[in-house]
A = this chain, B = another copy of it.
């Protein structure tokens, strides 16, 4: 906070609060807010009826419960009075900032990610092992997909998505975060919502799935083809595979995030598919499925030991097909460490 010139840090809904205190705010209309002054005592402003949920940590923060007819924003404003620069958590509900603005008229606002991000994005050994365990769990599902053990042809995308979701839980995750299943031309929509489209013979099926296991997230993407691989898909996939492996290899400590993106993009562009790679190469991962650091043009942050992130280039040809290949990778002093190890080739499966 001193480095960043932040007087008061305000954390509510989101993962910064549990990262620092072990307590996660309920995502509801009653305000929970950790108020961290640069100097002075830390307070957890909390609905009175939720105070019994908190494991108290005297010496770390004090509890400030508020009753149902009190204005919690006024309590926060009083605790933050005099602050000129206030950093607020990314996912705090905007309504609370709207209510705070007139009560702290002289403050300017910053994103709390400037303060908490540098802490959260460097994973320690226990965090890396938690990410590795979650990765190994989804790899077992990816292998079932590649071996044909998860039926595809004749089922809807939504049915396969439900199957993947059930397997994610069976493999030890507490929550399913997403299970994208996109067949044929639907795979050209990177965030396709699995629907009633029935999977047919001879088409590509993109599966991007993950969840949260013991607090840390998994996220992997593999594509398979139901039957013989069409020539245009085989050709594009070879480019994608080369680009993804090159980007993983580029993820050395000290390399700027954007350089990892450029590595994948250069190969895809030189092969003539540049216009079809419509998103960044990756995102950080940890307590959240998407967090700092982002592997995107414009992010010149050098990778450090313990940074964990996805490397997931894609090629999306509207109306025809889409494909993406995704591993989670940790930058380490010994080089990039991929946390996903299921086969990277385009598998062909029987219906």
Contacts and interface: CB of A to CB of B under 8 A. Distances in A.
Nearest to A14: B93
A191 B296 contact: no
Nearest to A101: B109
A58 B296 CA distance: 32
B93 A191 contact: no
- Chain copies in the assembled complex: 2
Contacts of A191: 26, 49-50, 53
**Chain A interface extent, by class:** 35 or more
A242 interface: no
Contacts of A98: 88, 97, 109-111
A48 interface: yes
A95 B113 contact: yes
A261 to B, nearest CB: 9
Contact of A95 (B52, B91, B190, B290): B91
A278 interface: yes
B97 A53 contact: no
A97 B296 CA distance: 22
Interface string A295-316: 0111000000000000000000
Contact of A52 (B97, B109, B188): B188
Contact of A97 (B97, B113, B279, B297): B97
B91 A278 contact: no
A179 to B, nearest CB: 14
A209 B252 CA distance: 48
12 contacts: A26-B191, A29-B290, A49-B191, A50-B190, A52-B189, A52-B318, A53-B189, A88-B95, A88-B98, A92-B93, A93-B94, A94-B94
